[in-house]
Amino acid sequence: MTAFPPAPVPDQPAFPPAPDFLARLDGTASDIEAVLENALSAQTEDGEIARPERLRAAMRHAALGGGKRLRPFLVVESAALFGVPRAQALLAGAALECVHCYSLAHDDLPAMDNDDLRRGRPTLHRAYDEATAILAGDSLLTLAFDLMAREAVHRDAAVRIGLVRDLARAAGLGGMAGGQMLDLAAEGRFGDAGTAPDEAGIVTLQRMKTGALLAFACRAGAILGQAGGPAHAALETFGEKLGLAFQLADDLLDLEGDAALIGKATGKDAAAGKGTLVARLGPQAARQRLAALVGEAEAALAPFGPGGDVLRHTVRFAAARRT
């Protein structure tokens, strides 16, 4: 990662610089990598050999060595607001990251988005084969709940079961998987031409497909911290706004970004005829909407005072990223 990216719009209000934000983000990404490396190592925690080897290797391909680990970072930083020990939040964040990585592996499949490139490397089914990619995705999703259920996440089983339940709802029919389904439908994949989503439909789609896991990441900190209702609600709102901002930035990147920097194909959404807010509003209005969402996300953090600064930087980072 390079310097802190520029603000998305010129008239954005001044904000204290954070020379250490990217170092902080990188540090958590390294820690998450280590947790995932350990969870996918050759030996299980019981000392048994984790096998079959081909499936384990494919899970590693999908889960290791990639990404900013934004979702785990949000878990760690929202949990830090309540003094949750970092190791606990990292394990919960790694569980969430397994869900994210499984979804990328399945979304890349030929029957889905048919992508060859992910984070600058071959997608899982290109590096292995379709059957292995399906099974590795399934296994990462399953591992997510294995990790989240571990005592090291929180000594109170009620906290862990709350995380399991919330994660399942964020990932399933009413969340991420449902959002991917709506996204395929918006392409006209199921022969329902003429039912392209309107603006509200696009927001619903994005709230489910991308927003649900990002919002869960923020709520997870409140659950881990056994936070009271107002703090929980504040992080919920923050996560929702951040999720929408993230997706809008993603759509802008797809339109304007550099494929070499991003490590995956760009312009695919337009080619697929996907209705994005950028296509609907135009880039200029989309950028204004993005700035407004960032402002709303920051406002939601007001109850945390300066303690919320890292999360404030995070939503700015998510909105302004170039990769």
Q: Which element (helix H / strand E) includes 139? A: helix 130-148
To which residue do tokens 């329902």 refer? 192
Site for its own copies in 183-212 (CB under 8 A): 184-185, 189-190
First-residue to last-residue Cα distance in the chain: 9
Bridge partners for 118 per DSSP: 121
The site string for its own copies over 94-123 (x = CB under 8 A, - otherwise) reads: --------x---x--x-xx-----------
Q: Is there binding between residue 145 and its own copies (CB under 8 A)? A: yes
Verify binding: residue 127, its own copies, rule CB under 8 A. Answer: no
Burial class (CB in 10 A: 0-12, 13-18, 19+), 269: buried
Residue 258 CA, distance from chain mean position: 20
Q: Is the peptide bond before 303 cis (omega within 30 degrees of 0)?
A: no
Smallest distance from the beta carbon of 81 to its own copies, in angstroms?
24
Tokens of 200: 């509200």
* Stretch 149-168 residues interacting with its own copies (CB under 8 A): 149-150, 156-158, 160-161, 164-165, 167-168
* Percent of residues in the chain assigned helix, strand, coil, to nearest 5: 70, 0, 30
For position 138 contacting its own copies by CB under 8 A, the verdict is yes
Nearer to its own copies, 74 or 212 (CB): 212
Per rule CB under 8 A, is residue 34 in the interface with its own copies? no
Binding its own copies (rule: CB under 8 A), the pick from 32, 84, 89, 171 is 171
Beta carbon of residue 12, minimum distance to its own copies (angstroms, whole number): 36
Q: What angle do CA 263, 142, 54 make, to 5 degrees?
A: 65
- Given a contact cutoff of 8 angstroms between Cβ atoms, the answer to whether 109 and 133 are in contact is yes
Part in contact with its own copies (CB under 8 A); list of ranges 176-184, 232-240, 266-274, 295-303:
176-184
Residues in contact with its own copies by the rule CB under 8 A:
44, 48, 50-52, 54-56, 59, 102, 106, 109, 111-112, 129-132, 134-135, 137-139, 141-143, 145-146, 148-150, 156-158, 160-161, 164-165, 167-169, 171-174, 177-178, 180-182, 184-185, 189-190
